[in-house]
């Protein structure tokens, strides 16, 4: 009987943000696929998990797919984790899940940490309908993606790196308007967690004076019914 692939979310910052079930499954697995074995090693050590690890990341996933599928089909119980959060959400995982399903391998995905939900709830913007855009394209298609957000009435969630944050805000202003309300969440769950709120214009000025560090989530309020589209 074939084993299954288990998708296990890991903490986005605070190492205590992991479920008892996740710890149990990581200990039970025969092998853990980790985005960065050094980063994941810290988490495993804290929770006394000694399961062997192998690297599985954006730069080697295509090469590793065939061998991973064979291991699972041969009875190896494999758990997939990323550096932080849920694999497949702006992290490697989607390709492996699809290939496993194509091969008739069962998938089990545990619930757990992901940065977008705490940021959304903490924003104070409507949570009944929202749209997760992840990271904007770095070059090709970036402007088109930003323009597509102009008429979005749902709350929008973006991931961004600290060194691109200011540029992204500056690119959003001409499309969404300088008065569009937003929240920049930084270092969620960590000691220096910070949530900066206000208009895009305010956030632009703030981060010009206070260069950000750490992991970033941007939450944008959706376009209001009476709000005029920027030209």
Which range has the worst mean pLDDT, 94-108, 135-149, 213-227? 213-227
Q: Residue 231: what pLDDT?
A: 44
Fill in the DSSP letter of residue 121.
Answer: H
The 10 Å CB-count burial string (b at 16+, else e) for 114-149 is bbbebbbebbebeeeebebbeebeeeeeeeeebeeb
Other C-beta atoms within 10 Å of 97: how many? 17
Q: Residue 229: what pLDDT?
A: 52
Give the residue extent of every domain in the chain: 5-109, 116-220
Which residues, including other chains, have CB under 8 Å from residue 227's CB and lie 6 or more apart?
177
Q: What angle do CA 130, 132, 138 make, to 5 degrees?
A: 145
Rounded to whole angstroms, the Cα distance separating 210 from 205 reads 9
Mean pLDDT, the chain, rounded, equals 94
Q: According to the CATH classification, is domain 116-220 in 3.30.950.10?
A: yes
Please write the tens of the pLDDT for every residue from 88-121.
Answer: 999 999 999 999 999 999 999 999 999 999 999 9
Residue with tokens 């008429």: 151
Rounded to whole angstroms, the Cα distance separating 142 from 132 reads 15
Q: pTM for this one?
A: 0.91
Which range has the worst mean pLDDT, 51-65, 134-148, 215-229? 215-229
pLDDT at 58 over 80: yes
Please write the tens of the pLDDT for every residue from 194-207.
Answer: 999 999 999 999 99
Which residues, including other chains, have CB under 8 Å from residue 66's CB and lie 6 or more apart?
none
Residue 171: strand, helix, or coil: helix
Other C-beta atoms within 10 Å of 48: how many? 8
pLDDT at 230 over 90: no
What is the band of 2 on the pLDDT scale with cuts at 50, 70, 90? low
Fold match between domain 5-109 and domain 116-220: no
Rounded to whole angstroms, the Cα distance separating 32 from 219 reads 32
What is the band of 36 on the pLDDT scale with cuts at 50, 70, 90? very high
pLDDT at 228 over 80: no
The proportion of the chain whose per-residue pLDDT surpasses 90, expressed as a percent, equals 94
Residue 42: strand, helix, or coil: helix
Contact between 117 and 132 (Cβ < 8 Å): no
Helices 94-102 & 61-73 angle (0-180, nearest 10): 40
Q: Residue 224: what pLDDT?
A: 87
CATH of domain 5-109: 3.40.1010.10
Please write the tens of the pLDDT for every residue from 166-190.
Answer: 999 999 999 999 999 999 999 999 9
Q: What is the mean pLDDT of residues 52-78?
A: 95
pLDDT at 226 over 90: no
């Amino acid at each position: 009987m074939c084993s299954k692939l288990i998708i296990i979310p890991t903490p986005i910052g605070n190492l205590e943000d992991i479920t008892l079930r996740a710890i149990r499954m990581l200990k039970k697995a025969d092998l853990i696929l980790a985005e960065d074995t050094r980063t994941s090693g810290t988490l495993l050590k804290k929770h006394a998990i000694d399961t062997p690890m192998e690297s599985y990341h954006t730069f080697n996933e295509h090469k590793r797919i065939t061998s991973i599928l064979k291991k699972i089909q041969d009875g190896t119980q494999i758990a997939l984790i990323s550096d932080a959060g849920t694999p497949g959400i702006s992290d490697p995982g989607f390709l492996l899940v699809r290939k496993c399903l194509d091969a008739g391998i069962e998938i089990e995905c545990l619930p757990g940490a992901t940065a977008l939900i705490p940021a959304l709830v903490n924003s104070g913007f409507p949570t009944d309908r929202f749209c997760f855009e992840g990271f904007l394209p770095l070059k090709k298609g970036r402007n088109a993606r930003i323009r597509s957000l102009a008429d979005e009435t749902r709350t929008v969630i973006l991931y961004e790196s600290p060194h691109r944050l200011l540029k992204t805000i500056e690119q959003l202003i001409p499309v969404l308007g300088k008065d569009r309300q937003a929240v920049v969440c930084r270092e969620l769950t960590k000691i220096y967690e910070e949530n900066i709120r206000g208009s895009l214009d305010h956030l632009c000025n703030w981060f010009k004076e206070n260069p950000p560090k750490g992991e970033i989530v941007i939450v944008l309020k959706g376009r209001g019914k009476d709000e005029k589209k920027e030209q």
